[in-house]
Amino acid sequence: MTTIKVIGIDLGKSSFHLIGHDHTGREQLRKHLSRPKLIQFLSQTPKTTIAMESCGGSHWLARKCQSLGHEVKLIPPQYVKPYVKTNKNDYIDADAIAEACTRPSMRFVGVKTETSQVISVIQRVRSSYIKERTACMSRIGAILLEFGMSFPRGHAKMKVLFQWIADNNEPLPAMLMQELIEHHEYYLLLNERIAGQDKKLKQLVEQDVRAQLLKTIPGVGDLTAAQCLADISDVTHFKNGRQMAAWIGLVPHQYSTGGKSTLLGISKRGNKALRTLFIHGARAMLSRPEKALAVFGEWILELRARKPFNVAVVALANKLVRIAWSVLSTKHAFEIRV
C-alpha cells in the first residue's frame, strides 16, 4: 500500500469502485466497496491523494477523507472524460479519475464546508418554491381562461384574485370556486415558504464576515452574497478576478484559429446561479444611472453610450465579479474612489 500515489474513486449511491496508481501510473489497487467498507478502508490506508469527480456526495466524502489525513482532489466531470479509455464501466471511470488527477495542468474544485452545502440546499429549495409558485399562478390563469376570463399577470393581481373575479361579474360554478380557493391558498403558502427561505439566508449572511464584505459592493445583496458563500469555497483557487469571471461564464467565448483571434458572446459556462444573480445586480445598477455614475465614474456612461443595454449589463456584471474576487482575496470592504 505504501507504493500507492493516488486513489481514484468512482462514486455511487451505495457502492464505490477504487483504482490505485503508483508513481509511474501503473495500477496497484482495484477494489469494489460499500459505503461503510470504504470509510473503514480509507481509515486504514496510509495518507495519500484521493481523487473523485465533483458530483453528488463528493464534498461530504472529501471532508471525511480530509479528516482521515488524506489529500483530496475533486475534478470536474468534463475534465475526466478525455481520459476514459475504450468502453465505459465503473473501474475504467475510476482509472480515468486517478490518471486525470496526476496531470499538471488539471483544474480542481474546492471542497465545500458543511455551511456552504447548507446554504446551497436552502437556495435550491427556495428556487423550487419559486418555480412551483409560478406554475400555480399559471394554472389559475389557465382555469379562468377556460371560463372566459383573461386574468392579468403579476403578483399584485394574484393577491386580490377574488376581488378581481367579483369585479368582472362573470358567474362561475361553485365547485370551480372551491378549486380556485384551494389553489390560491397554496399560492399564499408558497409565498410564506419563500419568505422563510429568504429569512434563513439573511440570518446566515449576517453571521458571516465574508458575506458582509461582499454586501459592500453595489449591486450585491443577501441572495448574491449567500450564493457566493455556497459556491466559492476558496477564492485562492482563482489567480485573479478574470479567472473567477470566466468560471462564472461572464467572459467572451473564444473561437480562434490560424493566428486570428475571434471573440464571440459570453461563454455561459460554469455557475449559472451566480451568473444570473450578478447580472440582475448589474441591471439594477444600470437602471439607476446616477448611482452607477457615483460608483463607477465616466466608464459606465461611456460604456452605455457605445453598447446596447444588455451588453453593458454583462460588462458591469463582469466588473462586479472581479470586485468580489478582490474583496474576498484581500478581506477588505469595497470603497468608492473619488
Residue 337 has pLDDT above 70, yes or no: no
Total domain count, the chain: 3
Do 92 and 127 sit in the same domain of this protein?
no
| Of 153, 188, 206, the domain-final residue | 206
Contact 286, 320 (CB under 8 A): no
The vertex-296 CA angle with 294 and 302, nearest 5°, equals: 105
Do 193 and 261 sit in the same domain of this protein?
no
| Of 70, 101, 132, the domain-final residue | 101
Do 223 and 307 sit in the same domain of this protein?
yes
Relative to beta strand 6-10, strand 15-21 is antiparallel
Do 163 and 216 sit in the same domain of this protein?
no
Residue 2 has pLDDT above 70, yes or no: no
The reported pLDDT for the residue numbered 288 is 83
Specify if 263 maps to a domain: yes
Average pLDDT over residues 286-309: 82
Residue 1 has pLDDT above 60, yes or no: no
221-257 confidence digits (pLDDT tens): 999 999 999 988 888 888 898 999 988 888 877 776 7
Is the model more confident about 116 or about 251? 116
Do 133 and 165 sit in the same domain of this protein?
yes
Do 220 and 311 sit in the same domain of this protein?
yes
Do 326 and 224 sit in the same domain of this protein?
yes
Specify if 108 maps to a domain: no
Contact 290, 284 (CB under 8 A): no
Percentage of residues of the chain with pLDDT beyond 70: 96
The reported pLDDT for the residue numbered 269 is 76
Specify if 230 maps to a domain: yes
The reported pLDDT for the residue numbered 268 is 76
Do 168 and 93 sit in the same domain of this protein?
no
Cell numbers describing residue 308: 446596447
Residue 338 has pLDDT above 60, yes or no: no
Indicate the pLDDT class of residue 262, thresholds 50, 70 and 90: low
Handedness of CA 95, 96, 101, 104 (dihedral sign): positive
Do 311 and 224 sit in the same domain of this protein?
yes
67-102 confidence digits (pLDDT tens): 999 999 999 999 999 999 888 899 999 999 999 999
Do 195 and 240 sit in the same domain of this protein?
no
Label residues 102-141 b or e (16+ Cβ within 10 Å = b). beeebebbbbbeeebeebbebbeebeebeeebeebbeebb
132-180 confidence digits (pLDDT tens): 999 999 999 999 999 888 898 889 989 899 998 888 887 888 999 999 9
Specify if 293 maps to a domain: yes
Specify if 130 maps to a domain: yes
Give Cα 26 to chain centroid, integer Å. Answer: 36
Domain range for 304: 210-330
Specify if 109 maps to a domain: no
Whole-model pTM: value is: 0.84
Please report, for the domain that includes residue 55, its CATH number: 3.30.420.10
251 CB neighbour count, 10 Å cutoff: 20
Do 94 and 131 sit in the same domain of this protein?
no
Do 192 and 217 sit in the same domain of this protein?
no
Strand partners, 21: 6, 27
